[in-house]
Amino acid sequence: MSNAIEIRDLEYRAGKTFAVRDLAVNVPTGAMYGFLGPNGAGKTTTIRLILGLLRPVRGRITVLGSDIPREAARMLARTGYVPEAPHLYPSLSVDECLRYHAAFYPTWDWKWADELLGHFRLDRTHRFVTLSKGEKGKLMMLQALAQRPELLVLDEPTDGLDPVVRRDVITAVLDYVAQHNATVLISSHLVHELERICDWVGVMDNGRLVAELPMHAFKSGIKRLRVGGAPALPGDTPFVLLAREPGDGAFETWIVRGWQSPMTQYFDGVGATVREVIDLDLEEGFVELLRTFRGPARAS
C-alpha cells in the first residue's frame, strides 16, 4: 500500500520549550487517518509542516509524491485544508469567499459547491463576519471539498460545533471519500468521533508519535487483564505491558497492547492465570497509552 503522507526522522523546534522530535508518520492512500493527542502535543505543528507552512530542522516529508516544502505548491493544488481557526476575510460575503477561493483551483467544481451550499443551508449574501461558528465551519469545509482534492487535511474541523452541525460536516466528508477514494488526515480531540469514522489512528504526545496502527488493531489489541498469581518480574512477554496495578487480594490489573487470545499461554508458563479480559474503547486505550508514555509503567 502506498502512502499519501510519509514523514521520516522529522525535527522541528518552536522556542526553547517545545520540539517535534524523531517523528515518523505514514498515512496510507485512501485512509481516514485520525490524529489524536492532547492540547500542545504537536498535532497542529505537524500539520503545518506537512503543508509546507513551517520548515523542519531536519527530516523528510513527502505528500502526494511531492517533497515538502520544496514542492509544496504542487501538493497544495491537490489538497483541501480546514485549519483549526477560520481565516477568511471577514468583510467578504459567502459568495465572494467562494469565488476568491475558486480562483486558485482549476479543479474547483461549481455545481457541487452549489449543492453543498444548499446542503449546509448557507446564504450566499451573508458576510463571513456575521456567520455563526457552525456556519463558518461549514463554509470552510465547503471550500475544501469543492476544489475536489485528493487529500483532505482537517485540523479540529468540528471543534465547538453543535451535534447537528458536526453530523452535517462529517457526513459530507464521508460521502466525498466514498465517491473519490480521497485520503483524509483529521486531527480531533473528540475521540469517540474518530473511533466511528477512521480506519487508521496515530497518537501524538509531547512532540513524539506514541503509536500508529489500524483502528481495528488499536481497539482490539489494547486490553485490561485481571491476573492472578502475577510474577514479580514479567520477563519476555508476547505483548506490550503498558501498566500493572495492584488489585484486591491475589489479583492485579495489567494493561496490555497487542493482545491475542493465544497469549494466555504466557501466563500458564509463569504460573499465573488470567481471570478476565476486558475490552477498552478508543478513549480508554488513548488515555492508557499517554499515561504509559509520560511515566514508567509499574511493570517490575
Which of these CATH numbers, 3.30.200, 3.40.50, 2.60.40, 3.30.70, describes 217-294?
A: 3.30.70
Give dist(CA 53, CA 46) in Å, integer: 10
Q: By percentage, how much of the chain surpasses pLDDT 90?
A: 64
Domain spans of the chain, in order of start: 3-206, 217-294
pLDDT of residue 136: 93
| 249 has a pLDDT exceeding 60 | yes
Q: Which CATH class is domain 3-206?
A: alpha beta
pLDDT of residue 3: 96
Please write the tens of the pLDDT for every residue from 120-178.
Answer: 999 999 999 999 999 999 999 999 999 999 999 999 988 878 888 888 889 999 999 99
pLDDT of residue 296: 54
Q: Fold match between 3-206 and 217-294?
A: no
Please write the tens of the pLDDT for every residue from 22-36.
Answer: 999 999 999 999 999
pLDDT of residue 295: 65
